[in-house]
Amino acid sequence: MRNLWTKAGVFGSVSMAFGSMLWSQKNPDSDQASSPSGETDPSSLYELKLVQVLFRHGARTPLKSIPDVMEAQWVPTLLEPPAHTQINYEVTDLNGGPRPPAPVEDSYRKNILSGGSFSGQLTTVGMQQLYELGKRLRTRYVEQSSFLSSTFNPAEVYVRSTNIVRTIESAKCLVAGLFQQKEKEIVPIFTTASESEILYPNYHGCKLLKILASHRWAESSTLPDIAADLQRIQSALGIAAHQHIDFILIRDDMVAREAHGLPCPPVLDSWRTKVEQRAVDMICHVYEPSKRENLQLCVGPLMHKMLANIEGKLQGTSSEPKRKLFLYSAHDTTLIPCLMALGIFDMKWPPYAADITVELHQHRETNKPFVKVSYIDQDQLIPGCSGVYCPLDEFKQILSSYSLSSDLYQSLCNSKEDSTKP
């Protein structure tokens, strides 16, 4: 088992993941080091080759309501799709066959919120957010650079989503904004069965991750500072002591209400900053970024897939040589560990429709490959990279600490917890 972790890069530098969380996001405008020749506009030195966008779904109904407080009315009219977000699309498995069963979505359908809507459903507000993200991508990659065709072409664009309605609909809305409802043919949105999903930490498909994470989730609400604040807010809100709540649940309901202009308990006005802080503290405890193996199991296969897409483009081995854009529709619980692995988590919960965009560039003079990462439209200086335009070798070295091939991932997932202990 120790050999498995060694292969996965666990026993390299252990400080990168946690220490790099202290790096602040850097304004690319002030980073002239990103240009080898000191140009004020380094982008002119590079030719864009490939874009990968990992994004969170838009605003939605809450997963659970805060108990014992005034209810928000989640009426079905809040879920009506705007006409400009409609496109002709179909949801398939990764091979183009029928959509797999969706047990996660089925669980949401068992929970009806006050007002009549199901939990976890993309709303009109959320649909518009993803449409706007699509428009931003259109401005950059269609109108400004002519990198993409102005009409959707499946040879150019690959769309993958978790098999959950809100992420599928988010992908659809983004494509509508990106291509302004212009498609040559039906837009395929690819999904996979829950046990093989790599677009979120897969507690169902990875036994070891479930073992490692389950007690971290249980512990997260009992940490002294968090537990003390939780007791205080529970008392302030008048929530019965027997009700199980935590700061992530409170934040989820609070942010969902705010996004839709629905009333929150007045007590939360003075607690908002603390709720945000404690929710982030909890999720950091769960993902435990100081222990690399946890992030590996959370996002290792996804990192491996994104690196493979880059290599396929550079080596000319892609099955779709004309492919220029990969779209991955996912969750906050996907973006957070990815940001941690990249060393750019800013200790703020990713908002609805947040995106991590990874661009592959080629230097026009040297032909050497570079990677540029942005988060919510802000270029990032990745710790370990010599510039915002990061030489691919440096980028691969950083991700090698977390990337896991499918075979190694499965080997680790099926191992026992006690085998991971030194």
Residue keyed to tokens 């904004």 = 177
With 0-12 / 13-18 / 19 or more C-beta atoms within 10 angstroms meaning exposed / middle / buried, residue 296 is buried
Q: Name the amino acid, one letter, at 291.
A: K
pLDDT above 90: residue 330: yes
Phi, psi angle pair for 356, to nearest 5°: -110, 120
Query: Element (H or E) spanning 296, and its range?
Result: helix 292-315
Q: Are strands 325-330 and 157-161 parallel, antiparallel or unpaired?
A: parallel
Helix 272-287 with 224-237: angle, nearest 10 deg: 140
Given 3-state DSSP classes, what are the helix, strand and coil percentages for the chain, each rounded to the nearest 5? 45, 15, 40
Which residues belong to the active site? Answer: 57, 332
* pLDDT at residue number 183: 86
Q: How far is residue 320's CA from residue 307's CA, in Å, rounded to a whole number?
A: 16
pLDDT above 90: residue 336: yes
pLDDT above 80: residue 145: yes
Q: What tens digit of pLDDT does each residue of 225-282 get?
A: 999 999 999 999 999 989 999 999 999 999 999 999 999 999 999 999 999 999 999 9
* pLDDT at residue number 22: 35
Instruction: Give the predicted TM-score (pTM) of the model.
Output: 0.90
Q: Which two tokens stand for residue 30?
A: 């002030």
Using alpha carbons, list the distances in angstroms from residue 297 to 136, 172, 287, 309, 338: 32, 28, 10, 20, 11
Contact indicator for 246, 282 with CB cutoff of 8 Å: yes
Side-chain-side CA neighbours of 1 within 13 Å: the count stands at: 13
Q: How far is residue 400's CA from residue 322's CA, in Å, rounded to a whole number?
A: 27
Q: Please name which of 127, 235, 206 lies closest in space to residue 414, comparing C-alpha atoms.
A: 206
Q: How far is residue 363's CA from residue 346's CA, in Å, rounded to a whole number?
A: 30
Residue keyed to tokens 């939360």 = 268
